[in-house]
Structure 1
């Protein structure tokens, strides 16, 4: 039986918890500390994930999250203007790329977690 769901939250690691916290705050996400080394990061509404003070290179560098956004071009410009690669070691921001299903750009956080920001074709 399928039950109504309220949210789905993943856990991601951080190489340096304080730096990752600052990174996500700079990105415009709301970080709510739950315990030392463990925070709820709110993207918007019920779109959240957990950030933890735990790092395993293979795990973080293979972790991917996809965030669907409206107006990808405007979102990319807003992220680019933040200068995240200049402010945080290891952060990489790609250009927008077109694919068969839609368009996206990529952002690696300081621990190597890979974010896909995209929009689907109608």
Structure 2
């Protein structure tokens, strides 16, 4: 058995349009959009942004994005935070006991993105 791709559905939170702009500013390409769903891509990775709001769910939803240049991502994320366009929070890159160096980014909906780099 083979699987070719896993594409999570990410809730947008209260402001679907703001969430779309956030992910575009973060570096994702929007490849499809309608009133209820967008598809975003970066490299070979894709996710669905769903026009959906449930605060409790959003604040308990997490996913990991593995990147090549974590420090470059951190610089870019800091620029986004300093712009104050989005209600986001992030912690600087840190090594965790489970062996990953990662950034924890809370997106506008409250979803926690674990942005990490491959362990070498």
Q: Identify whether the pair has TM-score above 0.5, normalized to the shorter chain.
A: yes
**Contiguous gaps of at least 5 residues in structure 1:** none
Question: What are the within-5 Å matches in structure 2 for residues 1-122 of structure 1?
Answer: 2=1, 4-15=2-13, 16-45=15-44, 47-83=45-81, 86-89=84-87, 91-100=88-97, 101-122=99-120
Counterpart secondary structure, 1:82: helix
Counterpart secondary structure, 1:74: helix
Counterpart secondary structure, 1:96: strand
On the 8 A contact 2:106/2:112 being kept in 1, the answer is yes
Q: Following the alignment from structure 2 to structure 1, what is the Cα–Cα distance between the partners of residues 101 and 83?
A: 21
- Inter-CA distance 34–75: structure 2 relative to 1 (3 Å threshold): closer
Q: CA deviation at 1:97?
A: 1.2
- Inter-CA distance 6–34: structure 2 relative to 1 (3 Å threshold): farther
Size of the aligned set, in residue pairs, is 118
Counterpart secondary structure, 1:25: helix
Q: Spell out structure 1 runs of 4+ moving beyond 3 A.
A: none
Which range moves more in the overlay, 64-73 or 107-116?
64-73
**Contiguous gaps of at least 5 residues in structure 2:** none
Q: CA deviation at 1:120?
A: 3.7
